[in-house]
Every structure is written in C-alpha cells, then in structure tokens.
C-alpha cells in the first residue's frame, strides 16, 4: 500500500471541501455545510495572521483517501496545549486499509512533538465503527462530559465583545 500523508496547502482547498461534504453526508448533516472554498481559504490559509486550523491529507497512490482537520486548544488543568481533532474522514471505498489509523497516529505523534498534554475529539454516539476504532487505539470516551454549543442566531445575539476593562454600554 502506497500511503502518503502531507500537510494541506491552499491549492488543496477544493479537495478539503470535498472531504468535508463527504463527512457531512456520512454523518447525515449535509444540510448544515456552509463551508465554501473561499471561506476555507480565508480561515485555513489567511494572507495575514494565524490559521484557524491545520489540515492533514492522506493519499493512496495518487488518489486522495482522507483528511484530518485539527487545531490547538488549551488545558488549564495541565497548563499545556492540546490538539483537538475537529474532523477525520476516510473515503468509504478505502476504509479498512489503514488510512484513518495513519492519520490519527500521525496527529498523536504531532501532539507529542508539540508538547501537548492531550489529544481530543468528538464522535457521534451512533457511529459504532468509529467508536470501536478509537477505543482499539486506546482512546477513552468521557461519558460524563456533554458538548455545549452556541451557534447561528443564538451566538449572534451577543454581538461583538468590548475591550477588557472598557465600560459596557
């Protein structure tokens, strides 16, 4: 198996979006994808400032096989950065060939190299194949934690922040 991993570049934005759409279809969330090539380019490969996330691509031969999109978070309890895996997707036709494992283990090595105290991600409760895969690698599910999310109108209603120390109007 000729499996190659590499960091994504701006030239890969269309491929990244294709993987995002494939993941959304698998998760039955296609109606929620608002990402566009322009938005991805602006947030992953900005002209100025820090990228919002990083992306790792996997190829079998010359064929795109999967991706992992991740970013740095922070653990106050450990006083260390962490690596948060936002998305991991392998095309259905190449599943079972080690692509997902290679992506995940590469990120685990990267987290260690960056001095991260942990690596985390979420998985849908119905995704038994993914859960079994993650647990086979030693991942532990934190059943006592629940994800909370503000998005769309619920987030927008709070507007923009005022500078720390500034008087609120």
Residue ranges covered by each domain of the chain: 3-142
88, 125 contact by CB (below 8 A): no
Catalytic residue among 26, 74, 134, 158: 134
Q: Among this protein's residues, is 134 annotated catalytic?
A: yes
Question: Strand pairing of 63-75 and 118-121?
Answer: unpaired
The CATH class of the 3-142 domain is alpha beta
Q: What does the alpha-carbon distance between residue 87 and residue 106 come to, in Å, rounded to a whole number?
A: 14
Q: Is the pLDDT of residue 27 over 70?
A: yes
pLDDT, tens only, 109-168: 999 999 999 999 999 999 999 999 999 999 999 999 999 999 999 999 999 887 776 665
Q: What does the alpha-carbon distance between residue 123 and residue 151 come to, in Å, rounded to a whole number?
A: 19
Amino acid 168: pLDDT: 56
Mean pLDDT of 95-106: 97
pLDDT class of 60 with cuts at 50, 70, 90? very high
pTM: predicted TM-score of the whole model, two decimal places: 0.91
Percentage of residues of the chain with pLDDT beyond 90: 93
Using alpha carbons, select from 117, 25, 122 the residue that is nearest to residue 70: 122
Amino acid 167: pLDDT: 61
Amino acid 84: pLDDT: 98
Q: Is the pLDDT of residue 169 over 60?
A: no
Question: Strand pairing of 118-121 and 80-90?
Answer: parallel
Amino acid 161: pLDDT: 85
Amino acid 162: pLDDT: 78
Residue with tokens 């979420």: 122
């Amino acid at each position: 198996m000729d499996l190659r991993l590499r960091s994504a570049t701006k030239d890969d934005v269309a491929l990244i979006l294709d993987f995002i759409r494939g993941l959304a279809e698998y998760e039955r969330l296609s109606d929620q994808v608002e990402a566009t090539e322009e938005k991805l380019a602006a947030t992953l490969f900005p002209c100025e400032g820090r990228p919002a996330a990083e992306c790792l691509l996997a190829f079998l031969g010359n064929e795109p096989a999967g991706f992992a999109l991740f970013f740095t978070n922070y653990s106050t309890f450990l006083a260390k950065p962490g690596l948060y895996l936002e998305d991991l997707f392998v095309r259905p036709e190449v599943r079972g060939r080690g692509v997902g494992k290679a992506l995940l283990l590469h990120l685990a090595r990267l987290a260690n190299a960056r001095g991260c105290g942990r690596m985390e991600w979420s998985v849908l409760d119905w995704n038994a194949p993914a859960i079994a895969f993650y647990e086979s690698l030693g991942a532990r599910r934190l059943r006592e934690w629940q994800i909370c999310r503000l998005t769309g109108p619920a987030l927008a209603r709070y507007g923009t922040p005022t500078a720390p120390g500034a008087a609120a109007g």
